[in-house]
Structure 1
């Protein structure tokens, strides 16, 4: 564990980009690449994480630094592959697999998820097959290409989308959040509707609630990151 070696953290403009300075030292990625960011807002989010460090530097407490580093060290070299991996989630999207019972949950899923499915159909010009149960259904193959195109190849945004799709189990929800069609709170409630239904019906399990709280915080952090792009 590294010790804090700097006193001040600032943001500065440099070469048509923005950088983070630890005292006078320019922050680099773990791969030692210059961390050149597109705007001051994103640079400030990274700077705030470094400023919040105590005597010991705790990488796990800097999720936005991790997202930026992943984008600049890894995704920048494989944007097409990353977009395709993201788009694969729409072929088995959470919102397309519904419960068969109990009736209350079936109704909750329909009321909550149908508007997002309809939005995705219109927004991305796709057909989506919705089924009850867990047996896989075939989605139109063109859906994958259209969602990959919607994701684009800009590494910073693409990194967030890939993380969100894995976290939410849904490419639809990831894009809806990235496009500000839904809030971070809504994304959480939609993705974990089944878990929240169980809590409503049977009460809170502390371990399960702690897991959900951690996930909700992660979604909110990614949403802040996206809003700064």
Structure 2
């Protein structure tokens, strides 16, 4: 697709646009044999139906963040909805066709997910960490006035609110209760590894034990 865009821009003598597309081509492609075929007739604004375009090799290494940033910047310059490349007048056409602009812009939108895909393990771990749902205040240990106060009553704790709601209104989902209690585990991990707060860890541990006792009490009454 870029080859066709290069051919039309060179034929129409749109040199600045041609250079921008050429940069995208050079940065993004992994050429077989390491050669980008500079003698391609399309780069001279000539159409040669007998010419065989160069093969694009499969990338053996993931894209570098700097390379991705350069690609995103260059593509945004020519394919974003407000790009000057889309402007046309009575005597001149747009530098890029709507179909070609759509393909490039779609790639641009999807490319912002690439860093997360390249770091899928940390991304999955972050998404699965529901410990932040437990917190209402951060760095509570910094205020000594709170040390002897029960800061988070269990009635106002989100895991326990979800637990009681499930027991009262969704009895068919009772088997998911232990997954709700996993919030305490994630919150405790955050308290130790990120906040470095022993006080918060003890508070979470006490609340988790109390919540489990309350859960067993309610289940016992409902079953027996």
Calculate the TM-score normalised by the size of structure 1: 0.30
More helix by share: 2
Structure with bigger gyration radius: 2
Task: Report which structure shows greater RCO (CA 8 Å, sep ≥6).
Answer: 1
